[in-house]
Amino acid sequence: MLLHGTDALTAAAREGRAIPGFVAYNLETVQGIVAAAEAAGRPVLLQAGSSAFKHAGRAALMALALDAARRSDAALGVHLDHSRDLEEITACVEAGYTSVMVDGSHLPFAENVALTRKAVERAHAAGVWVEAELGALAGDEDVSTDARAAGGSMTDPEQAAEFVAATGVDALAVAVGNVHGFTAEPVRLDLDRLARIRAAVAVPLVLHGASGLPEEQLLGAVRRGVAKVNVNAELRRAYLQAVSSALPGALPGADVVSTWTAGRDAVAATALRITQKLSPTPSTTQPT
């Protein structure tokens, strides 16, 4: 069931919980994320985005993600993550994505505003909500190295208010010490800055780089207005560890099915655990 509109996002912000945005790269990661959403009984965003298109192909991964979401009984949004290309954003909107992220965080402020405003115009015309980013995160979205928070730049609360007013975005991704990927030392978020950003803007906030965050930091961010939390590296690690463990037994018989199944089940279990942490429910059903 496709999750349209921002009602789920704004409800999460109002209720002090967050919707997870899980990044998918292939069939098994899509299936694992969907299984977790079904088991949790909570809204989940299935993020099939720019970097994953390089591996799977845009048309193939778009179709896979949208078909899986439409066939599921869970409330699933299909989200374009980290796009810097208006043509790509338009293609995903036309294909049926429920939300898109335009990433102009690498640009000077005025250029980020201009790019974001164009994306908002295109997406809103089709009833699709838009996330944008202000500030810059250290680390790599797709490769977990020892990222360091010092490589990024923090979001300024006053500038955030100006940015939201100038662009009309529906959600804002912020930089408050969070990084992409795992770090050698635990990340400490600037929760005071996050609270000031929350007070300055009316739209829900988004936290990228949640993999490996200490739980008190993650939940502290949710309590301060983060309504969407992106998780990528944690799912990738779970998938690769499961596949690696399955390979010795699978190789003699070339048993690819058991290997893929192990990876998919690990993604499902990890995504379910994170979903329940961000938005607890009475459900404790495990995905199959």
Residues with catalytic roles: 81
133 is in an annotated binding site: yes
Phi/psi-derived region of residue 127, left when phi > 0, alpha when psi is between -120 and 50, beta in every other case = left
Read off the tokens for 108: 């000077």
How many whole angstroms from its chain centre is CA 107?
A: 21
How many Cα atoms within 13 Å fall on the side-chain side of residue 47?
Answer: 24
The C-alpha atoms of residue 238 and residue 277 are separated, in whole angstroms, by 17
Kindly give, in sequence order, each residue whose CB lies less than 8 Å from that of residue 57, ignoring residues fewer than 6 positions away: none
Phi and psi at 44, nearest 5°, equal -140, 145
180 is in an annotated binding site: yes
Q: Whose CA is closest to 30, among 90, 89, 59, 72? A: 72
User: Do you know the residue count of the chain?
Assistant: 288
Q: Give the residue numbers of the binding site for Zn(2+).
A: 82, 103, 133, 180, 208
